[in-house]
Amino acid sequence: MHRQGFNRAVPQRPALIVVAAGVADVMLAVRFAAGHGLPVAVQATGHGMAVPADGALLIRTGELTGVRVDPAAGTAWIAAGVTWEQVIHEAQAFGLAPLNGSCPAVGAVSYVLGGGLGPLGRRYGFAADLVEDIDVVTADGEYRRVDAHRHGDLFWALRGGKGNFGAVTGMTVGLVPVTHLYGGGLYFGAGAAGHLLHEWREWTRAVPEAMSSSVALFRMPDVPAVPPRMRGMAVAHLRVAYAGPEAEGEELLRAMRTVPGLVLDTVAVMPYTSVGMIHHDPTEPRAFVDANTLLRELVPPTVDTLLDAVTGPVARGDLAVELRHLGGAFARPPEPPRLPGAVGHRDAGYLLSVVSDLAPERTAERAADLHREVLHRVAPWSTGGKALNFIDGPAGADDVRAAYDPAQYDRLRAVKAIYDPRNTFRVNHNLPPA
């Protein structure tokens, strides 16, 4: 049980597993690994696994729990094993919300370490930029609390460098004053995908930063939770989260509601505790492979090329595709006195991600070939960059390098050489020491 991650396509056989009950356990585990020449892997909820922890010492931090909200400071301290569901629940008692992702079941700390691109991001930016301090055990087995003034280079690198610099046991994150969203989904038949994507492309050029949205193309599962008329149906799903008044959100969405082919409309005012209902991301472990690329822009030829590449695979159920609108606060550094973290490619306009669930007739190799073909087709509009948190599964050196601007990548490797010169923390989206 403890050796499995969320993505069952990445089986792993670690040499040892330490289920940490506190910081002392983490320190002792790292020292033991260093003394025996073992690489260290760190896993909380098991989302975001990059490589299997075969032969490594695997530290499970899922038992490190606890959330402490400071409403006066507008912050929350969160332990390494906490999910966003827990943080949202505690923060909402004070009229506050974290910058969580689309799936609240994901571990909060590991999500932030990868940058953190969520439904409030166009208004408030990357989650990594709102971190106040981080508790981390570095490769020498020492505990450090780092912030902008203490080990500032490490503080910068952790906020976007994933698990490369140590085992994080907790962090203090900033919260924002959000209690409700005007959010949900507009579901269209797959035949309307072209019309919807072209309209959405134009619509996203003018919407305010408080409006976050994406369009996903996929086949609905044939399960009781899905309305009977939509079970097994290929759909185009517009997902919206507006952090503003209902009347404004309704007016903004009016144009998208007029696109022909609308099958189901679930957009309404919702408490922030229901934010996970917007995307309805899977919460049960499964075997899948994915890939992504960042796009500079979305122009009519981009949409047409993408549709030509994915329509057949989506209809067959071989592929799910999502385009997320970026820009807004994602595109600029946080307001002083906060300092930006190591998040690359802030100038990207959209994120394209593709994912395939695996089955006997759909192997990882076949899915990866399909993903490469889709990304190759849209390459003329790509920045060449990738979103690190959306690489879930085997991550090659080129994939990791592509998540950062060249200067960031070099600086991250330099920091790695200081705090982990032997690359003890290498069972991850690895940054080799300079």
pLDDT at 1: 59
What residue has token string 């490594």?
56
pLDDT at 298: 98
Tell me the pTM.
0.96
Start-to-end CA span in the chain (Å): 36
Domain map of the chain by residue range?
A: 180-397
Cβ atoms of 313 and 370 within 8 Å: the answer is: yes
Measuring CA to CA, which residue among 160, 211, 215 is closest to residue 328? Answer: 211
Residues of the chain with pLDDT under 50: none
Architecture per CATH, 180-397:
3-Layer(aba) Sandwich (3.40)
